[in-house]
A and B are shown apart, each in its own frame.
Chain A
């Protein structure tokens, strides 16, 4: 299968600071990437996506950056809040648009 990995398994940030979560993907054919947030006891929740023809996409307080040269994704969360505490996953679609491969996740802890 595909290999999608995260550099940091756990990230602790102070409330109000910006957070950056990184992700490496392995398949250069992947053309669609998604970041998900998973809170305890819940299913993954869509945060933001990006297609391979873009380098950057912004949402509300979140920005995803894509560097295809080094096959790297990052999720930036501005003014991190306690409610942002969760596990964040990146996913790539590999060679099949409907078959997504998920990274192992990064746990974000927001300290008040």
Chain B
């Protein structure tokens, strides 16, 4: 199993540009989570999906952020327009069985730098 796969690993973009982060969860996992990690705020849950349906997006900072999960094997997190304060490491995680975190696996993250 290749684990949770995120791309790109690094992204540098100019302020105002659109950024799309991608995630492929572990096959068979029915929950997918997007987190953001910064030194100041630590790990923050942005949004999570269950069976491709967004369940809780209360952590999404503002309307510039959007996430989709068109199928069980793919999700995107989009920032449009991007701002320097969006610079962070964005993690995707997936889990199996409702609430069982033994299967809660993180990807390696995408380091986003907005200049």
List residues of A whose CB falls within 8 A of some B CB: 32, 34, 41-46, 49, 89, 93, 96-105
Contact = CB atoms under 8 A, between A and B. Distances in A.
DSSP majority for the B interface?
Answer: strand
Contacts, number: 51
Contact of A43 (B44, B91, B102): B91
Contacts of A100: 45, 101
Interface of B: 4, 31, 33, 42-45, 48, 50, 55-56, 91, 93, 95, 98-99, 101-102, 104-109
A42 B111 CA distance: 11
DSSP majority for the A interface?
Answer: loop
Given A99-B56, A100-B101, A102-B43, A43 B93 contact: yes
Given A41-B108, A44-B91, A98-B48, A34 B42 contact: no
Given A43-B106, A45-B106, A46-B105, A97 B98 contact: yes
* Minimum-distance CB pairs A-B, first 9: A43-B106, A97-B99, A102-B43, A104-B42, A44-B106, A43-B108, A43-B91, A43-B109, A43-B107
